[in-house]
Structure 1
Amino acid sequence: MLLVLATSSLVLVAFLVPLAVLVGDVAHDRAISSASLEARTLSVVATGDEAALRSAVQRINTGEQFPVTVFRPDGAELGAAAERSPAVQLARSTSRTLSAELPDGGIEVLTSVGASEGTTVIRVYVSQEQLTAGVYRAWIILALLGLALLALSMLVAERLGRSLVGSIGELAVTSRRLAGGDLTAQARPNGPAEIEAVAATLNTLAARITELLVAERERVADLSHRVRTPLTALKLDAESVRDPQDRERLETSIAALERAVTQTINEAREPAGEGGACDATRVVRERVEFWSVLAEDQERPFSALLPDGPLLVRISEAELAPAVDALLGNVFAHTPEGTAFSVRLTADAGGGAVLQVRDEGPGLPRSAAQRGRSGAGSSGLGLDIARRAAESSGGSWATDSPGGARITLRLGPPDGAAAG
């Protein structure tokens, strides 16, 4: 719209200013021509009888718009009183029609008429108001016309701009929905051809992302389903164990593993959604109790500092439990037996919770913070599970090695919960 405003203004100025000047020139020339015609008409009478000349001058000064003065050769003046200017003397000596500007802004048109007794000069006075008669009204009309054309151009520009910007705004809204995980968002192909092409490409991209996610979920579900075969073999092996305590322990672990595999298959085949909410205190306490049995077998000193009451966080139990298992599993997998560790869960000042797992082992390698990498020969996805759990809750995570390994997860508060 600013571009159209600037362009239209330049065009209108280039058109209206010369036109306004032309209107002024036409009005000026029209007044001078009328005065010259009046002077020439009177010059015909000036060659005749003196009484006829006086009558004609009186009639003109009474009814015409331009005052007339006649300077006779003997020095007499007929008609309106006027000063004998240098232009009058020039007209008498040159015997021709001429015009001269006056100090008050008017113009006097002079015509000389020669006779046997001398030269008579006829003076017709044109005032400044008569020179600009109708000019200001014409300028006002031109200005109003220019403003109307400018307003019309801005209206057209606004309509065109709205159609263009509206289409781009719809693309931006669709892009934000896709970025937020809503893969059902579709852009409407409207507007110029280029924007329609972008909208169609964006819709194709959303469809392709959906296809890739479906294929990835099916691949994960298929991989998890293949684990059922060795799980069945483990069940059979566990049933053959004679020691009741060992058999019960193995069957409990196998059942937990089977539940995890089933949950993975179900989650992989479902579209990603909101994580929900859970009581972090209960989940962490259950996982600590589960790993405490193995800690006692390996003679690992450990401590758990947990709140007495519930601590709600914006993550489901199905996501938080694997994250806690991943952190505690890393302690048992990457530190020697007998290495102490601690688990601490506290309320975050801004709402949510802070989970910290610390051990007194050799510490974390530099590559431990990178997804899918580990310095101990593992897949490195354990820390990534914890990281994704913290970020999906709206929180963050951090790792450091102050004489061991310390991993901190900040879990966000549930939607609608007030900050503490």
Structure 2
Amino acid sequence: MRRRLIQSTLAVVLVVIAVFGVSLVIVETRTISNSAQERVDSEAIRLAGIVDSRLFAAEDVTAEILRDQVAQERYAVIRIPGKESIEVGSKPSGEVISSTEEGEEGETVTVQEPRSSVTREVGRTLLIIGLVALLAVIAAVLLAIRQANKLASPLTDLAETAERLGSGDPRPRHKRYGVPELDRVADVLDSSAERIARMLTAERRLAADASHQLRTPLTALSMRLEEITLTDDPDTVKEEANVALTQVERLTDVVERLLTNSRDPRAGNAVTFDLDEVIQQQLAEWRPAYRSAGRAIVSSGKRHLTAVGTPGAVAQVLAALIENSLMHGGGTVALRTRVTGNQAVIEVTDEGPGVPADLGARIFERTISGRNSTGIGLAVARDLAEADGGRLEMLQAQPPVFGLFLSRTPLRSAVLDDDEPTVR
């Protein structure tokens, strides 16, 4: 492309130089020839006037007297009736420019100039025109190279940017070239790169969140199946099978929400549900894992509390907190329920060392983990809690206390245990 731009620009300049240069040469040649003829005519008229004045005054007319009146390269012949012709200068050879003028006393003055002087002047003019044309061609080439680089380099950059986008590198370059049309293309490519980057980030986040949300139910399901394989008691097998079916339903619910919401957790439908059912379900699912680890998981606090949210999402949040305590905590894990204002709170705590001081509030950021884990469990749990209009907070770092806050149904009362008052 760069070569084509240079060639096309140079061709246009050469055509312009050819058209105007030839015209200028013709005009200048005629002008120089006419000017030379006018000089010779003027010289003849002037000499005739000098000869007339001397003849009228009865003075001598000689070559010595007229020699100073004739230019060096010119030749003059004065013919006076009754006298010999007077010659001034050297007679030129070859083609000449000649002019003859008759005086009032009957004399004839002829002035000649060699045409070679005109040829030399025309040659000098042609040389000047040629030099100007050469400078114009050089300037045109330099300008064409500059313009070609200004256009070709941006197009090469834009092609590389488009190729990078196609190869999966969506980083915008934010590079502009000073050409409105090319800058517009660059703007569009940068906007497309930013959109692709957002889409890829969302895809990666969806994959990470989906794998994490599916891993916990699958882990619990595998533990139930292990319990079934280790027992011969039909009642135990039946009980574990029922729990496994419940976990399969939870797993199906997770998959459906992931597919239908396209990782937009706010698309879920919040309902009023009983917190006790979700808590007891989690206790039943995680007790085998805690029992295998030599630890216990218990619940306490107010009973028969209702909340507004998605039961499956709340179960996933609690599962993430319980699993987090199993992996990073120690001792007994306790789930406590209480009421604050118009919110129901589920606190999850254990007897472990707690959250390191260097993590602090960053514990809910993605990729932040105190050990070799994915670092997205608490981040996903917080997203799920906020999707239901609630929130997930770390209430205490040592020992660790995490609180899940959910809105309560304002038209229904929450009933406590038999020995506790009713809270509205």
Bin for the TM-score computed over the shorter chain: 0.3 to 0.5
Question: With structure 1 as the length reference, what TM-score do the two structures score?
Answer: 0.44
Larger Rg: 2
Question: With structure 2 as the length reference, what TM-score do the two structures score?
Answer: 0.44
